[in-house]
Structure 1
Amino acid sequence: MKNNIEITPMQLSFTIMQAMFGVGYVSLPHDLQEVAKGGGFLSVLFAGVLVQILLIILWALNKRFPTKTLFEFAPVILGRFFGTAVSVLYIIYFLLTASLVLDLYTRICKEWAYPLTPGWLLMLLMVLTSTYLVISDLRIIARFLVFVSFLLIANSFLAIWGLQNANYLYILPIDEAGWINIVKAMHDAVIGLLGFELILVAYPFTEGTDKDKLKAALLAVWVIVFLYALITFTCLVVYSPEEIPLISEPVIHLLKGYRLPMIERLDLFYLLLNAIAAATSYMVYLYMSTKGITSLFKRVKYKWAILLTAAISFVIALFPENRYQIMQFSKIFSYVSYLFIVALPVFLLIVALIRKQKEEGVNM
């Protein structure tokens, strides 16, 4: 049965954009330059092609079960036991991703603006604010995410503004690191583009045809891909190849040298935009994990499930005690993510195709 709470394809597009545009982009140019050198922005574009393929796979899976979320059609495809096990794994994955966003956000805030503020307090403020918004239905969440999408425009403007100090010789030769390393750097870019998996949960709550939903999701992906490529390109041509390996967050550092008539420290003002980016990404993953819990445990009310997932993500985020532990956790988790964005969706789709499983009334 179709859920009464629906969002438009446009709202789906903006929601996916906000889910993808997290906090990892501030260090992405540094990570890409280490492997791909001046060809780092090409790695982002190549990663965009891969993400598009993965998104089409997720869409093909959703298309067979248009009124069900991942947590509802997984048991149909694999049986109750194995389907529930897959659903539990996805809930854990979404919770860990939300916790990682909290950790990265807190580290950046402490290093750039609040070195003496306890990390747990910064996390708690983020959790309380996000929980207040996520406790509403998806339509309210989507409206908020559309409202704060000025963040994407602001980042595009800042990236273009930074080009006034560009030295385009810094990226030459573009293939200095070799095409193999440019392809290897796609790993960091793909991980930076995570969030498109939201379609597995939001698909049945979106109005329109299957093609409308696919177009909306693809638009979201390529907007973020081009924005990431622009930001990466700007950093690569502003900082010399010797400088950028020494700067862990080149996007924020880029703004330290700029002054506006009413804003002296533009980099600190930018932290506000970063906080919004972190909050929107955290909210989306909190929502997805909550939908998983309410799907598995029918008697658990959505409101209580939100409070539970928020509390769990907060506790998990407290475990890494320093930058090194956060980076190690992030590195390991980046490889685990492929299980949930590649392996399991492909496996579910293959099984569904072999068994010719689809929702009743769906024409393929």
Structure 2
Amino acid sequence: MSAPVTISIDAMGGDHAPDMVVEGVRLAHVRLPHVRYLLFGDTRRIEPLLERYPELKGICQIRHTEESVSMEDKPSQVLRTGRRTSMWLAVDAVVKGEAAGVVSAGNTGALMAVSKFVLRMLPGIDRPAIAGLFPTERGETVMLDLGANVECGANNLVQFAVMGEVFARAVLGLEKPTIGILNVGAEELKGNDAVRGAANILRESQLPIRFHGFVEGNDICAGTVDVVVTDGFTGNIALKTAEGTVKFFSGFLRHAFGSSLLAKLGYLLARRALNKVKLRTDPRRYNGAMFLGLNGIAVKSHGGTDAFGFANAVGVAVDLVAHGYNDRIRRELEHLKPQEAAAAQRVAGNG
């Protein structure tokens, strides 16, 4: 049986909190019975919800606060005045050692700012990155950064590659994940200085990383590599484009199958196959973006998700804790730093 793990929860974060959050914890408990929870938020709203589920009585503890972070709050404002909010207190519980990780469906910018301020960065990491999972033809692919860093240098991308590789091993269970840098072409001469520099450093590195090289946009869903590395500007556009495309085709199919009696009959005949497609592409299955590079486990759930999606985000946090994600990152970075510097010097000399 797995050792007990405590996760702190921002119970007031998300469009449908705290109802969705408590229901999500209940669903997570079915798969992860060894996990305990600290729920930060308004006791008057959370306690009646917990009373519906007797199985949660012994594994959940409420930490009362009446303050919370709204989706409209600016990160700078939260940093100045938000120390008593449910989000801040949930993150702070990780620093105090009361919890092994934190999960919130609240304001993304505020959560990133608070997590970076409270948890600090891992030694050797310059910037945090947001990592998430994409469904592919071959299974699942990790992609980072998804929006934390609009501009990145070569060393930032190399650090993202290291963090993404460890993430893939911890969450996807891959022994030797392949790494690719997103570019406008697969040729070595394509792209800007940052992607070319990062590729050169990874090729010269002696790290046990399987570097594939450059990949293009169509390689993401093809599953050409297990980890796709990019800057936050490009990654966020790719993410939103994929989400929009799924919604477009889902709406198009609903309209098409409801357009006539014959179409409705066709839907009945194809319903089983369509449900398989729906399950495979359900964004709730991939809910839970990790803030990589922080000195602590922090997972961001989509603000509009339901209980099933939130439970999956909790699962991501527990997986990262169970596999000692941050300890692995520290070990990899110890090997990377001298090799990164030597490779950069060789690249500069060749230039």
- TM class by shorter-chain length? under 0.3
What is the TM-score of this pair, normalised by structure 2?
A: 0.25
User: Larger relative CO (CA 8 A, sep 6+): 1 or 2?
Assistant: 1
What is the TM-score of this pair, normalised by structure 1?
A: 0.24
